[in-house]
Amino acid sequence: MGQEVTKKIKNNWILVVGGLGLFLTLILYLIFGLNEAYLGSRNYSDLPLTIALLSSSLIAPVLEEFIFRGFFCDKKIFNTIAIIGLSVFFLLNISNVLIYLPYLLFILIYFNYKDKLSFGYNFVIIINAIMFSLFHYKLNDLMNFSTFYQPLAQFSVGMITIWIVINYNIYKSILFHFCWNVFFTLIFLISIQFPNKKENIFSNDTAKVVWSRISRVNECNASTLEFFKHKLVATNIEAREFYELLDIENPNKKIGGKVLQVEPYMKYNFVIIFKDSLNQSDIRINSQKLLEDLDFVIKSD
C-alpha cells in the first residue's frame, strides 16, 4: 500500500479573517444595503451591459488575481507580473488619492518581508487585501458608513483568495474569483429581469410622474419617446437613456460629465404629466430635472 501524503494547510487565520469579514458584510448589507441605492464610483451604467458583464465575469478575475495575488505565488515569473501589473494599475488610477498610501506601504513592506516565515509577511498579506479593496473605490465612496459593507466585502474576498494562492495556486484563486463574480452577476441579471413592477406615482406643484419598472428582456423591440401638449410618454427605456434623449436637439441645456443610472440597466415605463401647457423645449428641461430630483439618474464628472 502506498503512503498517503496529507497537504498541510497554512495560514488559516487568513481564511478566518476573510470569512468573518464576509459575515460582517452580510450583516451591514441587511441593515443598510437593502434600502440604500449605491451612487458611488463603481456605478458603470454608462457602459453597454454586455461589456460590463464580460468585464466583471471574465476579465476582472484573471487580471486582478495576477496583479494582486501574484505576489504570493512561489514562481518568480508571477511575482514579476504582479509587480509590473500593480505599478501600471497604479499609474492608470493615479488621480485616485485613496490608493497612494496603501500602494507605497505595500511595496515598501513587500520588499523587506518577502520571507513567508517572517512575522512581517502577515502585514504584507493584510495590506495587499486592503489595497485590493481601496483600488476599487474613491475617497467619496468611504464617506458614507451605510455603504461601508462594499469595500469590506472586497477586503474579505482579497483575504480568501490570498489564502487560496498560498495553499493551492493562482489558478484556483482565479476560479474562485470567477465563481464569486458570476454568482453576483446572476443575481443582478435576475433583479433586472424580474423587478418589482408596482406602479409608482409622484406629484408636485408642476407635474405628476407615473412610472414602473419592467423586465429587461420583454416583447417590446425598441424604446419609445412621445411628446404631447401636456405630457411626455417613454416606454421600455433606461432612465439614463431617457435623460440623454431629452437633451437631443435642446440647445438650452448641455449635459456635462457622465450620466449614471441609480438602478443600473433597469428599464422603465414613464408618463410625465405637466399641469400647465409647455413647449417641447421646456418639457425636456423639466423632465430632466424630475429624473434627477427623483434619483433615477446622477451626473458624474
Q: Are residues 219 and 148 in the same domain?
A: no
Of 144, 166, 193, the one marking the end of a domain is 193
Q: Which residues of the chain have pLDDT under 70?
A: 1-8, 33-41, 145-146, 248-257, 301
Q: Are residues 138 and 250 in the same domain?
A: no
Q: Are residues 39 and 113 in the same domain?
A: yes
Q: Are residues 80 and 157 in the same domain?
A: yes
Q: Are residues 236 and 116 in the same domain?
A: no
Residue environment code for 142-157, b if the CB has 16+ CB neighbours within 10 A, otherwise e: beeeebbbbbbbbbbb
* pTM metric for this prediction: 0.87
Q: How many domains does the chain have?
A: 2
Residue 2's pLDDT is what? 45
Residue 39's pLDDT is what? 57
Three-state SS for 184-240 is HHHHHHHHHHCCCCCCEEEECCCEEEEEEEECCCCCCCCCEEEECCCEEEEEEEEHH
Domain, as residue range, for 52 = 12-193
Does residue 7 lie within any of the structural domains? no
Does residue 5 lie within any of the structural domains? no
Does residue 187 lie within any of the structural domains? yes
User: What is the tens place of the pLDDT at every residue in 249-278?
Assistant: 554 555 556 888 989 999 999 999 999 888
Residue 33's pLDDT is what? 65
Does residue 6 lie within any of the structural domains? no
Of 137, 159, 193, the one marking the end of a domain is 193
Q: Are residues 136 and 152 in the same domain?
A: yes
Does residue 2 lie within any of the structural domains? no
Q: Nine-digit cell at 301?
A: 464628472
Within 8 A by CB and 6+ apart from 38, the residues are 147, 150
Does residue 259 lie within any of the structural domains? yes
Q: Nine-digit cell at 232?
A: 411626455
Q: Are residues 68 and 214 in the same domain?
A: no
Does residue 135 lie within any of the structural domains? yes
Residue 217's pLDDT is what? 94
Among 287, 4, 49, 38, which Cα is nearest to 153's? Answer: 38
Q: Kindly state the DSSP code that residue 6 receives in the 8-state scheme.
A: P
Q: Are residues 29 and 93 in the same domain?
A: yes
Of 126, 158, 193, the one marking the end of a domain is 193
Q: Are residues 146 and 294 in the same domain?
A: no
Q: Are residues 148 and 269 in the same domain?
A: no
- For the beta carbon of residue 261, count every other beta carbon within 10 angstroms: 21
Does residue 4 lie within any of the structural domains? no
Q: Are residues 150 and 228 in the same domain?
A: no
Q: Are residues 35 and 161 in the same domain?
A: yes
